Amino acid sequence: MIYQFGPFELDLATVELRANGEVRDIEPQVFAVLALLIENHARLVSKDELIERVWHGRVVSDAAVASRVKSARQAIGDDGQSQRFIKTIHRHGFRFVAPVSAARSADSGTPDHRPERDSRPSIAVLPFRAVGHCEGHEALASALPDELIAELARLRWLFVTARGSSFRIRAENLNVGEVGRLLDVRYCLCGTVEVSGRRLGVTVDLIDTQDDGIVWAERFSGRIEDVHSIRDEIRTGVLAALELRIPMHEAALARLTVPENLSAWSAYHLGLQHLYRFNRLDNAAAARLLEHAVSLDPRFARAQAGLSFVHFQTAFMRYTADVTGESQRARQFAERALELDPLDPFVNFTMGRSYWLEGDLDSSLGWLERATSLSPNYAQGLYAQAWTEVLAGHGPGARTHVDLAMRLSPIDPLGYAMMATRAFTHMVVGEDNEAAHWAERGARAPGAHILILMIAAVAHTLNGNRERGEYWAAGVRERDPAINRVDFMRAFPMKPEAARARLSHALVQLGF
């Protein structure tokens, strides 16, 4: 989307600010401030919302906010006196007051002619191309995609074209748009196999057939003797990438659609993007989008499961005093999703999380294990399973599962929680230096919420670094002065008594 105001254009697709067609240098955070204010020009944006959306709820000073707003004004020729574009509403926030018009980005294809995306994303896996000196290994070009088709077919949220159709397309000069038209698919997975001496290289590309845009690409390589381990690496890498990249891409596309016209699938993916930010405002936005998805398609199991996640987050983060009611609603939506599709890993994941709210770790673990058995490369399921295992006292297995989750999804939106889980696996066995290292990484990761900061404060305190513990504790109190150790222990119902006592003592030391 391109927003036009005065002589300026703010292009969200290219992340550019242009003045009379000339690109102006602008810092990423300053661009984010401008984008937030311009996208919401019809209303006031509070300082709290600005911090939630631009700094992801991190602790920042008033001076830092004022500095970014000042830089945003300077970038568009505005200042605090004239306020022609950005107006300060004292003690309330900011509003973009200049007239704004919107247009689709020039490189966004022809979205007005696209069919309504109201069903599962569809994909075709094409035969790979053999390049270089592949004599004796040509079969890999068909064997690898054939295995991928079988694996992807297990992902119930994805429609996969059968081998009989996709393997009929073997053109050397591949026209991905034509493939999309012939097979009626939104995505195409293609690749090359190259053998050079005793080295094997495989490149895999995920392409949007509507605009030929590469959504994701990766290269795998190794010795030809290790072909079977490379096969496993490719299969695992592709499955993990599609679980993350396709939803991210669908959410980006959904932003180009007027909200009232969002299809159920687009609304679901855009809702997920808000949901994973773990703050009150985005959780409310996720609820609206997921409710819209369910209203369009009441039998959409993943949208029902998404609503379970919304209510889980509301209860877990204590966004309301009615924690019991929210916990019940989390269970109800998970049960409804399970009725619709008992074999969907995300559905089973939300069912497991609903038991977590009650402190019933054994029941929670059963559902999470079912989710990961249905999809062994489901990174968020593995992380949630690890989290539950460590709270239940199963430390060794927890570390294995969380490490696998981080390898499968290194840029996961819940990456901070994965690192915090790794920290917990060390804390429960007294490896305090390692715990402090991972907790610090988690607290500094994008999107880390207040409970992750508390974990960092506890880990550093247990490690004897009281100064660092107090630093993170101050950040916690700045976000919520009322939070205490009871809230922490309720959120993380740890079974091993010795571990509970250690964590509780550290929280007392920190004044919680």
Select from 57, 72, 103 the last residue of a domain: 103
Residue 79 reports pLDDT greater than 70: yes
Q: Is residue 254 part of a domain?
A: no
Residue 264 reports pLDDT greater than 50: yes
Express as a percent the part of the chain with pLDDT over 70: 93
Q: Is residue 55 part of a domain?
A: yes
Q: Is residue 220 part of a domain?
A: yes
**Are residue 332 and residue 437 in the same domain, yes or no?**
yes
**Are residue 133 and residue 187 in the same domain, yes or no?**
yes
Domain containing 81 equals 2-103
Q: Is residue 250 part of a domain?
A: no
Do 361 and 493 meet the contact criterion of CB atoms below 8 Å apart? yes
**Are residue 498 and residue 398 in the same domain, yes or no?**
yes
Other beta carbons within 10 angstroms of residue 411's beta carbon come to: 9
Residue 385 reports pLDDT greater than 90: yes
Choose the weakest-confidence range: 32-46, 331-345, 354-368: 32-46
Residue 16 reports pLDDT greater than 80: yes
Phi-psi label, residue 464: left if phi above 0, alpha if psi -120 to 50, beta otherwise: left
Q: Is residue 167 part of a domain?
A: yes
pLDDT at 474: 95
pLDDT at 159: 83
Choose the weakest-confidence range: 128-142, 364-378, 455-469, 496-510: 128-142
How confident is the model over 195-210, as a mean pLDDT?
89
CATH number at residue 203: 3.40.50.10070
**Are residue 71 and residue 118 in the same domain, yes or no?**
no
Mean pLDDT is highest, among 97-111, 131-145, 423-437, for 423-437
Give residue 104's pLDDT band: very low, low, confident or very high (50, 70, 90).
Answer: low
How confident is the model over 111-136, as a mean pLDDT?
66
What is the overall mean pLDDT for the chain?
A: 86
Residue 117 reports pLDDT greater than 50: no
pTM of the model: 0.63
Between CA 270 and CA 91 the distance in angstroms is: 31
pLDDT at 257: 67
Residue 95 reports pLDDT greater than 80: yes
**Are residue 238 and residue 280 in the same domain, yes or no?**
no
**Are residue 388 and residue 500 in the same domain, yes or no?**
yes
Do 448 and 276 meet the contact criterion of CB atoms below 8 Å apart? no
Q: Return the closest-CA partner of residue 105 out of 11, 39, 209.
A: 11
Between CA 166 and CA 191 the distance in angstroms is: 13
**Are residue 446 and residue 469 in the same domain, yes or no?**
yes
CATH number at residue 466: 1.25.40.10
pLDDT at 110: 35
Select from 103, 136, 151 the last residue of a domain: 103
Mean pLDDT is highest, among 173-187, 243-257, 473-487, for 473-487
Between CA 460 and CA 434 the distance in angstroms is: 10
Q: Is residue 462 part of a domain?
A: yes
Residue 414 reports pLDDT greater than 80: yes
How confident is the model over 188-193, as a mean pLDDT?
91
pLDDT at 59: 73
pLDDT digits (tens, 9 = 90+) for 337-365: 999 989 888 999 999 999 999 889 999 99
Q: What is the 3-state secondary structure (H, E, C) of 214-271?
A: EEEEEEEEEEHHHHHHHHHHHHHHHHHHHHHHHHHHHHHHHCCCCHHHCCHHHHHHHH
Give residue 174's pLDDT band: very low, low, confident or very high (50, 70, 90).
Answer: low
Question: 190 forms bridges with which residues in the sheet?
Answer: 205
**Are residue 361 and residue 448 in the same domain, yes or no?**
yes
**Are residue 188 and residue 92 in the same domain, yes or no?**
no
How confident is the model over 483-499, as a mean pLDDT?
92
**Are residue 419 and residue 304 in the same domain, yes or no?**
yes
**Are residue 119 and residue 98 in the same domain, yes or no?**
no
Give residue 259's pLDDT band: very low, low, confident or very high (50, 70, 90).
Answer: low
Report which of residues 63 and 511 the model is more confident about.
Answer: 511
pLDDT at 464: 96
pLDDT at 231: 86
How confident is the model over 312-316, as a mean pLDDT?
96
Residue 2 reports pLDDT greater than 90: no
| C-alpha triplet 389, 456, 491: angle, nearest 5° | 45
Query: How many domains in the chain?
Result: 3
For 46, the 3-state DSSP assignment is strand
pLDDT at 114: 35
Give residue 105's pLDDT band: very low, low, confident or very high (50, 70, 90).
Answer: low
Residue 108 reports pLDDT greater than 50: no
Do 243 and 155 meet the contact criterion of CB atoms below 8 Å apart? yes
Residue 417 reports pLDDT greater than 50: yes
pLDDT at 113: 34
How confident is the model over 219-231, as a mean pLDDT?
88
**Are residue 460 and residue 393 in the same domain, yes or no?**
yes
Q: Is residue 261 part of a domain?
A: no
Mean pLDDT is highest, among 47-51, 89-93, 314-318, for 314-318
Q: What is the 3-state secondary structure (H, E, C) of 260-306?
A: HHCCHHHHHHHHHHHHCCCCHHHHHHHHHHHHHHHHHCCCCHHHHHH
Which strand ranges, in their side-by-side order, compose the sheet holding 93-96?
45-46, 93-96, 86-89
| C-alpha triplet 372, 378, 379: angle, nearest 5° | 115
Select from 82, 103, 124 the last residue of a domain: 103
CATH number at residue 6: 1.10.10.10
Amino acid sitting at position 177: G
